[in-house]
Chain A
Amino acid sequence: MVRFQNVGMRYGPGPEVLRDVSFELGTGSFHFLAGPSGAGKTSLLKLLYLALRPSRGLISMFGQDVSTASRAALPMLRRRIGVVFQDFRLLDHLSALDNVALPLRIAGADEKRTREHVVELLTWVGLGDRLEARPATLSGGEKQRVAIARAVIARPSLLLADEPTGNVDPEMAQRLMYLFVELNKLGTAVVLATHDTHLLEQFRFPVMRLRAGTLSIDRNAA
Chain B
Amino acid sequence: MSRPRKKAVSDLQLEVDKSARFLPWALAVMVFLAALALSGALALDGTIEGWRRGVSSKLTVQIADRPGQPMQPRLQAAAEILRGVPGIAEVQIVERSAVEALLQPWLGSAALQSDLPLPGMIDVTLQDNAALSVDAVNAQLQTAVPGARIDDPKPWLDRLVQLGRLLQSLGGSIVLLVGMAAAAMVIFATRAGLSARRDTIELLHLIGAEDGYIARQFQRHVAAQALRGGILGAGLAAALLIGIQLLAGGIGTGLLPGLQLLWWHWLLLPLLPLAAAGLAIVTARWTVLGELRAML
Contact = CB atoms under 8 A, between A and B. Distances in A.
A91 B208 contact: no
Given A51-B296, A53-B296, A93-B13, A106 B204 contact: yes
Given A53-B296, A93-B9, A93-B13, A75 B200 contact: no
Nearest to B200: A91
A107 B296 contact: no
Contacts of B296: 50-53, 71, 74
A49 B206 CA distance: 7
Nearest to A150: B207
A94 interface: yes
B210 interface: yes
Nearest to B202: A51
A79 interface: yes
B200 A106 contact: no
Interface string B122-164: 0000000000000000000000000000000000000000000
Contacts of A76: 208
B18 interface: no
Contact of B205 (A53, A78, A150): A78
Contact of A103 (B202, B207, B211): B207
A162 interface: no
A75 B209 contact: yes
B11 A91 contact: yes
A185 interface: no
B213 A91 contact: no
B78 to A, nearest CB: 82
A107 B203 CA distance: 14
Q: Most A CB atoms within 10 A — which of B9, B202, B209, B213?
A: B209
Given A71-B296, A103-B208, A94 B11 contact: yes
A98 B209 contact: no
Contacts of B200: 91
Contacts of A79: 207-208
B5 interface: no
Nearest to B295: A71
Interface string A62-93: 00000000011011101100010000010101
A49 B203 CA distance: 11
A132 B1 CA distance: 15
Interface in A97-142: 98, 102-103, 106-107, 132
Interface in A7-35: none
A150 B202 CA distance: 16
Interface in B192-232: 199-200, 202-211, 213
Contacts of B11: 91, 94, 102
A83 B9 contact: no
A79 B210 CA distance: 10
Q: Most A CB atoms within 10 A — which of B199, B203, B211?
A: B203
Interface of B: 3, 6, 9, 11, 13, 16, 199-200, 202-211, 213, 293, 296
6 contacts: A50-B296, A53-B296, A71-B296, A78-B208, A79-B208, A150-B207
Given A51-B202, A93-B9, A103-B208, 13 more contacts: A50-B206, A75-B205, A75-B208, A75-B209, A76-B208, A78-B205, A78-B207, A79-B208, A98-B9, A102-B11, A102-B207, A106-B207, A132-B6
